[in-house]
Amino acid sequence: MWLVNFLIVIGTFTAMEAVAWLTHKYVMHGLLWNLHEDHHKKNPTSFFEKNDYFFLIFAIPGIISLGIGSFYQPLQWLMFIGIGITIYGFAYFMVHDIFIHQRFKFLRNSDNFYFRAIRRAHKMHHKHLEKEDGECFGMLWVPFKYFAEALKRKN
Q: What is the model's pTM?
A: 0.89
Q: What sign results for the dihedral spanned by CA atoms 110, 113, 117, 118?
A: negative
* 41-82 tens-digit pLDDT: 888 888 889 999 999 999 999 999 999 999 999 999 999 999
Task: Compute φ and ψ for 18, nearest 5 degrees.
Answer: -65, -45
C-alpha closest to that of 150 among 120, 108, 123: 120
Instruction: Say how far residue 72 (Cα) sits from the centre of its chain.
Output: 29
pLDDT, tens only, 121-141: 988 888 888 888 778 888 888
Q: Which of 58, 50, 56 is nearest to 24 (CA)?
A: 58
pLDDT in tens, 70-120: 999 999 999 999 999 999 999 999 988 888 888 877 766 777 888 889 988
